[in-house]
């Protein structure tokens, strides 16, 4: 389980506590509570589920059921930059798979992980981005990159790394 916030008072948990004051004993408010929780943490940490469970009088096993049911909730910390890659038919036939491989390699994601260890990037394959004319297509945050080749991937990733002022990623 997540142990961040142990010892030192984590301001995010203070914010969570304050938010939960509005929802005492209200299990029917679980969706807005989870949305606000994700607004605070960027994801839903296990320790937060325990706190929500106490406040709403809702067993954590049920909260876990809700969190995992909806695609909008995340149990793991997510990166600053969200890369969405289309895995639809058009992108697939035009080489989306190789682009995906290049991103996985470029980010150093191993063993099915989707978020980099430095929390800079999260990779999310999606069913369709609705831009089949630009296949293969990826989106990074709100920027769209169409008709890209695996060779272009390192430079695109480097751009987002540089924007953060960090060192340029070397694949």
Q: Candidates 9-17, 64-72, 96-104, 115-123 — which segment interacts with other proteins by CB under 8 A? A: 64-72
> Is 4 annotated in some ligand binding site?
no
Window 82-141: residues binding other proteins (CB under 8 A): none
C-alpha distances (whole Å) from 162 to each of 116, 128, 156 are 16, 28, 10
Please select the residue that binds other proteins; options are 3, 61, 111, 167, rule is CB under 8 A: 61
Please select the residue that binds other proteins; options are 26, 60, 82, 126, rule is CB under 8 A: 60
Binding status of residue 50 toward other proteins by CB under 8 A: yes
Distance of CA 125 to the CA centre of its chain: 11
The DSSP symbol for 140 reads: E
Nearer to other proteins, 11 or 46 (CB): 46
Q: Candidates 18-26, 35-43, 52-60, 149-157 — which segment interacts with other proteins by CB under 8 A? A: 52-60
Paired residues of 138 in beta bridges: 85, 145
Sheet holding 81-86, edge to edge: 121-126, 81-86, 138-140, 143-145
**C-beta of residue 12 within 8 angstroms of C-beta of residue 40:** yes
Q: What are the binding residues for [2Fe-2S] cluster?
A: 86, 91, 128, 132
């Amino acid at each position: 389980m997540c142990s961040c916030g142990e010892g030192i008072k984590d301001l995010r948990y203070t914010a969570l506590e304050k938010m939960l004051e509005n929802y005492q004993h209200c299990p029917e408010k679980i969706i807005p509570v989870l949305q606000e929780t994700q607004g605070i943490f960027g994801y839903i940490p296990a320790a937060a589920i325990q706190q929500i469970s106490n406040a709403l009088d809702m067993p954590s096993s049920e909260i876990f059921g809700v969190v995992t049911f909806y695609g909008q909730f995340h149990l793991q910390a997510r990166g600053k930059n969200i890369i969405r890659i289309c895995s639809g038919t058009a992108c697939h036939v035009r080489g989306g798979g190789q682009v995906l491989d290049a991103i996985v390699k470029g980010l150093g994601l191993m063993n099915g992980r989707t978020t980099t260890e430095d929390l800079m990037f999260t990779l999310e394959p999606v069913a369709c981005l609705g831009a089949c004319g630009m296949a293969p297509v990826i989106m990074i945050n709100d920027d769209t990159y169409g008709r890209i080749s695996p060779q272009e991937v390192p430079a695109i990733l480097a751009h987002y790394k540089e924007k953060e002022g960090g060192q340029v990623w070397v694949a």
